[in-house]
Amino acid sequence: MNMKEFNIEERVEKAKRLFKEGGYNCCQAVVLAYNDVFGIDDETAAAISSGFGGGMGRMREVCGAVSGMVMLAGLIRPASDPSVKDWRTANYALVQEMAGDFKALNGSIVCKELLGLVPMGSGSPAPKESPEPSDRTPEYYKKRPCEEMVGIAARIVGEKLRK
């Protein structure tokens, strides 16, 4: 793959900054930390990743940062032709590896578990939430690990891109 050069630590900090200062959701922050590496403009990257925040539309399912990694896995190991099984296998292997790395560091890839809304591995449903995003206040950032999760996901992507 012929891609633009990048510094992993700069991308980690960019993802965290986009989440905290830019108001982007977890998925958007991870995708926007690397979109230029793949030649994708900011508006398109932000738009296609917008629905994955809050564990997919605030349903608290798969963490948005993990969803961002999965989206980028599709660019790192594309499987654009469904008739090429080896491409899909390589893509799925990368997704499993990234998710495994994230889970090893955080205990889960599920938003409601990472936020402490339900016990880790319980499979319990998350409390029903409004689709309206939370206001980004100092209290919001104090009680959420999201900025750290975004940084971890961005680092995993950078490490996979370097391989």
pLDDT digits (tens, 9 = 90+) for 31-52: 999 999 999 999 999 999 999 9
d(CA 130, CA 145): 20
Q: Is residue 37 part of a domain?
A: yes
For residue 132, what are the contacts with CB-CB under 8 A and spacing of at least 6? none
d(CA 161, CA 91): 13
Q: Is residue 60 part of a domain?
A: yes
Collapsed DSSP state (helix, strand, coil) of residue 83: coil
Output the pLDDT for position 35.
96
Output the pLDDT for position 5.
80
Which tokens is 53 given? Answer: 């925040």
Total domains in the fold of the chain: 1
Higher pLDDT among residues 127 and 87, named by residue: 87
Residues of the chain with pLDDT > 70, as a percent, come to 98
Which residues, in sequence order, are bridge partners of residue 110? 62
Q: Is residue 2 part of a domain?
A: no
Q: Is residue 127 part of a domain?
A: yes
Say what the pTM is: 0.94
Q: What average pLDDT does range 1-17 have in this prediction?
A: 87
Which tokens is 21 given? Answer: 């200062």
Q: Is residue 21 part of a domain?
A: yes
Domain span at 135: 8-162
Site of tokens 């999760």: 149
Q: Give the model's confidence band at 1: pLDDT under 50 very low, under 70 low, under 90 confident, else very high.
A: low
